[in-house]
C-alpha cells in the first residue's frame, strides 16, 4: 500500500512537471526604427523566462547640411 502511494505521488509529480511550460530564451537586437532614416539607437533585450534584461544605448550625431 505504501509503495502504491509513492508510485502515484511520483507519477503525479512527473505529470505536473511535464504540464508546466518551461521558460524559453528570447533574444532581440533592435538597431533602428523604420521611420528614422539615420539610426542613432541600439536596443538589446534578453529574456530567459524568469529573468529579463534590457539595454538601451542612444547617441547623437552632428548632421551635415
Query: For each of the chain's 65 residues, which pLDDT tens digit applies?
Result: 678 888 898 888 888 877 776 666 667 766 555 665 666 666 677 666 666 777 777 766 666 55
- For residue 50, what pLDDT is reported? 66
Query: And the C-alpha cell for 46?
Result: 534578453
- For residue 24, what pLDDT is reported? 67
Q: Domain spans of the chain?
A: 23-65
What's the pTM value of the predicted model, to 2 decimals?
A: 0.33
- For residue 57, what pLDDT is reported? 74
Q: How far is CA 49 from CA 4, 22, 44, in A?
A: 36, 8, 16
Amino acid at each position: 500500500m505504501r509503495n502504491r502511494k509513492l508510485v502515484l505521488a511520483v507519477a503525479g509529480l512527473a505529470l505536473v512537471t511535464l504540464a508546466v511550460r518551461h521558460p524559453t530564451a528570447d533574444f532581440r537586437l533592435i538597431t533602428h526604427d523604420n521611420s528614422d532614416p539615420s539610426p542613432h539607437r541600439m536596443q538589446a533585450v534578453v529574456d530567459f523566462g524568469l529573468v529579463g534584461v534590457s539595454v538601451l544605448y542612444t547617441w547623437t550625431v552632428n548632421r551635415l547640411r
